Amino acid sequence: MSRGAPKGVAVAPNLSKSKVMAYRQCPKRLWLEVHRPELREDSAGAQKLFKAGNRVGEVARRLYDRRGTGSLIDVSAEGYAGALERTKELLSRNGPIFEAGFSAAGVLAFADVLVRRRRAGSPAWHAIEVKSSSKVKPQHEEDLAVQAFAMRKAGLVPGGFAIAHVDTKWTYRGHEDYRGLLKEVDLTAGTKKRMKEVPQWVAGAAGVASARKEPAIGMGAHCAKPYACPFNGHCAESEPKTTYPVAWLPNVRTKALKAFIADARVRDVRQVPDDLLNERQLRVKQQTVLGRPFLDARAAAAVKADFRPARFLDFESVMFAVPIWPGTRPFQQILFQFSLHTVRPDGEVAHEEFLDLSGAEPSRPLAEALIRACGEKGTIYVYSASFEVTRIRELAARYRDLARPLKAILARIKDLRPVAENHYYHPAQQGSWSLKAVAPTVAPELDYDNLDGVADGGAAGEAYMEAIASGTTAARKADIERQLRMYCGRDTEALVLFWRRIKGD
């Protein structure tokens, strides 16, 4: 797992592997990490990834040390010099080493796992980097190449290099038995090949790190790939401002439009010729410039023939890199909450919901509650149906005795998102048809910014994890429960109001 300097530990003598990788993403990112670390803002998504990485790392140490003969080097406690010294000492023994440190030729790198394996008849150290991702990614080979370079320059030539990533096809059987969670992929050949490029990367990174001035690099696709850059906020402030940003145009896919926008001078939608835009993009441009909302009559027709009562459904889910419930897989979306608003034919609105914070696996109780709440009549409206449809299908496949009523629910689902995308737009959406962008344009009180605490799906999953954790106090759990109920209820309330708006009620 990648790491920077631990807090309270003297600054590393060489550039860490994560700094070299930051340089590979963007030289300005490296410069900011070295000179302006206080500007770093890790998104909630990034923090979630760190936590998942730590948990996978813990399990990996157990999996690669089944005899319990391994040693973990803790740079926070031992300091850089101590960690490097102890690595040398442990390399003369045979047990697995976790976080072995190597510092040479301008780079400092810590190996997640070093294990002795036989290769061509004789034992050799093998380096394995543990990743919480579900597959090998192009940047993993670069990461290993930097690792390999530091090791080789420090005097160790490992026999092989691999990535161990989470296997999403594996199912947890319980009893803390995580054999099979990680899938090891040998990248020895690719790592050795890429290692030749490392001296150039290290020299480039060292030059940027020692520069006095922030590199003049504009924002672009590199800010999100391969990782969401934590300096987005800082860099966005210095980007040229425009009243109607071209980034508001949705689904820019055609070659001609992409090429036109890639021209650095094109920043405003007004600069884009109409004939390069599809119907939806043109609507965004026109309504944005006019400053007026758009709702066409076909919207009402799209929901006119639907069945009553009208029901509005939304789910919240959680996923674990390391599953906690038997029968579940890594990164499986597990539903723990739903909100269902029902508008009866007389206009009366009822609300039902399900939320299980007991810590027991919530899937089956949720499926049963969903069947009861949805009844047998009425269209069930959702927003971006693929999520709800996939989750209900999974429940039907898992609980065969509930398959028939769950499939009956599936047959009644109708997606309001295409209706919104094709027939509704408000300039305040700024090119987005997410429910969070649409809702406040229908009713200002539906603004998700005024929610206390949980205000998006990712935060809902995080709050759920906190609520079921053993150390969470009853008071905190009660507060999380209140926030989750408010948030999920807000989604279906927004659907009701949007549906009424397009019907002209």
Rounded Cα distance, 198 and 102, in Å: 15
Residue 23 or 110 with smaller CB distance to ligand SF4? 23
- Answer for which of 223, 313, 420, 463 binds ligand SF4 (CB under 6 A) is 223
Q: Is 231 helix (H, G, I), strand (E, B) or coil?
A: coil
| Contact with ligand SF4 (CB under 6 A) among 104, 219, 266, 410 | 219
User: Which span sits near ligand SF4 by CB under 6 A: 157-165, 225-233, 269-277, 331-339?
Assistant: 225-233
Instruction: CB nearer to ligand SF4: give 22 or 460.
Output: 22
Element (DSSP H or E) covering residue 124: strand 122-131
Q: What is the rounded distance in angstroms from the CA atom of residue 430 to the CA atom of residue 249?
A: 8
Least distance CB 23 / ligand SF4 (angstroms): 10
- Interaction of residue 229 with ligand SF4, rule CB under 6 A: yes
Burial of 216 (0-12, 13-18, 19+ CB in 10 A): exposed
Which CB, 217 or 443, lies closer to ligand SF4? 217
438 scored as a contact of ligand SF4 (CB under 6 A): no
- Count residues contacting ligand SF4 (CB under 6 A)? 13
Residue 456's Cβ-count burial label (10 Å; 0-12, 13-18, 19+) is middle
CA distance 95 to 23: 34
CB atoms inside a 10 Å sphere around CB 204: 15
CB nearer ligand SF4, residue 31 or residue 381 = 31
Residue 220 CB coordination number (10 Å) = 11
The residue (of 12 and 219) whose beta carbon lies closer to ligand SF4 is: 219
Show Cβ contacts of residue 136 under 8 Å, excluding neighbours closer than 6 positions.
163, 165, 185, 187
Closer residue to ligand SF4, CB minimum distance, 233 or 326: 233
Within 306-365, the residues that bind ligand SF4 by CB under 6 A are none
State in angstroms the smallest separation of the CB of 237 from ligand SF4: 10
Phi-psi region at 14: left, alpha or beta (left = phi > 0; alpha = psi -120 to 50): beta
Closest approach of Cβ 223 to ligand SF4, in Å? 3
Name the residue nearer to ligand SF4 (CB basis): 25 or 71: 25
Q: Where in 11-70 is the site for ligand SF4 (CB under 6 A)?
A: 25-26, 28-29, 32
**Between 178 and 217, how does the x/- string for binding to ligand SF4 read (CB under 6 A)?**
---------------------------------------x
Three-class SS of residue 190? helix
Rounded Cα distance between 171 and 177, Å, is 11
CA neighbor of 272 nearest in space, from 242, 295, 297: 242
Smallest distance from the beta carbon of 382 to ligand SF4, in angstroms?
A: 34
**353 three-state secondary structure:** strand
DSSP 35: H
Q: Summarize as ranges the residues that interact with ligand SF4 (CB under 6 A).
A: 25-26, 28-29, 32, 217, 219, 222-223, 229, 231-232, 235
